[in-house]
Structure 1
């Protein structure tokens, strides 16, 4: 076998092993994800950006502004291959779950974005389709489900257990032994104190402090945070 033939076989293998990462969604957050993915790709040669995919009109071509040339069409029209993976570029928890379900139904797979400069302990367990934007601070024995978004300067303490499709907005702080359910939004500079328990579908308003926890479908505001309304 000639050296040129061996080199060609290697190049074919290498191209097939590369992970093609698609960002599904639109608007500013998808472009932020693209920025972090590009930074990561500079040091991780196993990934490359495949393009932006829209979802039911969310992520139409005009939403991508200066990178609109990277928009390749609707996710429903794309046929996924074995080495294709998706990041969900949507900040809203409910929309993220809808996109997640639709990609699953199309046979797509997910890639968790752990942006450049983030280091996780060996005891940090996470599911699929999560996004960790730097800076991100975490310690040990943390268990996070699927589809969560930690959107910059988020802190999660030891022994926390977090469910699925939660959104942690910039500078939110989750202290040790906290339990968080599903579909919650933790506002900017909000603090969840140790051993608090958060239910499902809650909105914790910015600057609020949760002492013991809250139930389901609540707007919580203040220090200490109290119920100010219900999430419909």
Structure 2
């Protein structure tokens, strides 16, 4: 009888960082490590870190009672495209969590999340699809986070914050707490630079850097 087959889509740094806790999650569910693979059309090798690497088309052909996948691609637009492609092909979104994360009360978490070691999500929080929270990131109370948002390591997202789809929050960034009924807003597709201290709303599609964070304009 065929068993489920699980995959980490992407064998670069993001995928290799997710694979160990994805594998451990399967072990906690009583499944062996040979039921999880990397999917990567451009890896150019048959195995990485003890796991087979399959092209996407070959992953779809593998005998399995069902297929589940987490998209380990840092670029959120590519992540969304691959997520939707997998769903259209009958592959189920898979959320993977390190064993030592903390998730408190009334948290709604969308499909396909990847929560790395030491992530904390407190209470009364809503998070969309394809969320990546890297090492030591935290989300405080009463936050709303959209689809395909990425937190680099060590992000501090304080309470009453709204982060819209495809935003990227850089390593070590701190977002000031908003107020009930008037959340601090990080706009759709915005980028918060590494180590930035965000004290006010960030417009959609913009990049902010520094302390306090200010708009960054690229020079020609």
TM-score category (smaller protein): 0.7 to 0.9
- Residue 26 of structure 1 contacts residue 64 of structure 1 at CA under 8 Å; is this kept in 2? no
1:29 aligns with 2:14: yes
Q: 1:163, CA displacement in angstroms?
A: 0.2
- Residue 149 of structure 1 contacts residue 165 of structure 1 at CA under 8 Å; is this kept in 2? yes
2: CA distance, partners of 1:138 / 1:207 = 20
2: CA distance, partners of 1:66 / 1:90 = 18
Provide, for residues 139-166 of structure 1, a one-character-per-residue CA deviation record: whole Å limited to 9, x for no partner.
1001000011001100100010000101
> Equivalent residue of 1:52, what SS?
strand
Q: Could you tell me which residue of structure 1 aligns to residue 122 of structure 2?
A: 139
1:117 and 1:44, CA in 2 relative to 1: closer, same or farther beyond 3 A? farther
**TM-score normalised according to structure 2 size:** 0.87
Q: Could you tell me which residue of structure 1 aligns to residue 187 of structure 2?
A: 199
Q: 1:181, CA displacement in angstroms?
A: 0.1
Larger deviation: 72-81 or 114-123? 72-81
2: CA distance, partners of 1:186 / 1:220 = 10
Q: Could you tell me which residue of structure 2 aligns to residue 3 of structure 1?
A: none
Q: Could you tell me which residue of structure 1 aligns to residue 77 of structure 2?
A: 94
Unaligned runs of 5+ residues in structure 2 are 179-183
1:132 and 1:42, CA in 2 relative to 1: closer, same or farther beyond 3 A? same
Q: Could you tell me which residue of structure 2 aligns to residue 51 of structure 1?
A: 37
Alignment of 1:118-129 (within 5 A): 118-129=101-112
1:203 and 1:191, CA in 2 relative to 1: closer, same or farther beyond 3 A? same
Q: Could you tell me which residue of structure 1 aligns to residue 135 of structure 2?
A: 152
Q: Could you tell me which residue of structure 2 aligns to residue 6 of structure 1?
A: none
More helix by share: 1
Unaligned runs of 5+ residues in structure 1 are 1-11
1:26 and 1:75, CA in 2 relative to 1: closer, same or farther beyond 3 A? farther
Structure 1 vs Structure 2 CA RMSD: 2.2
1: CA distance, partners of 2:115 / 2:36 = 20
1:190 aligns with 2:173: yes
1: CA distance, partners of 2:32 / 2:194 = 35
1:42 aligns with 2:27: yes
Q: 1:168, CA displacement in angstroms?
A: 0.1
Q: 1:222, CA displacement in angstroms?
A: 1.1
- Residue 21 of structure 1 contacts residue 47 of structure 1 at CA under 8 Å; is this kept in 2? no
- Residue 24 of structure 1 contacts residue 75 of structure 1 at CA under 8 Å; is this kept in 2? no
Number of aligned positions between the proteins: 211
- Residue 122 of structure 2 contacts residue 140 of structure 2 at CA under 8 Å; is this kept in 1? yes
Q: 1:62, CA displacement in angstroms?
A: 3.3
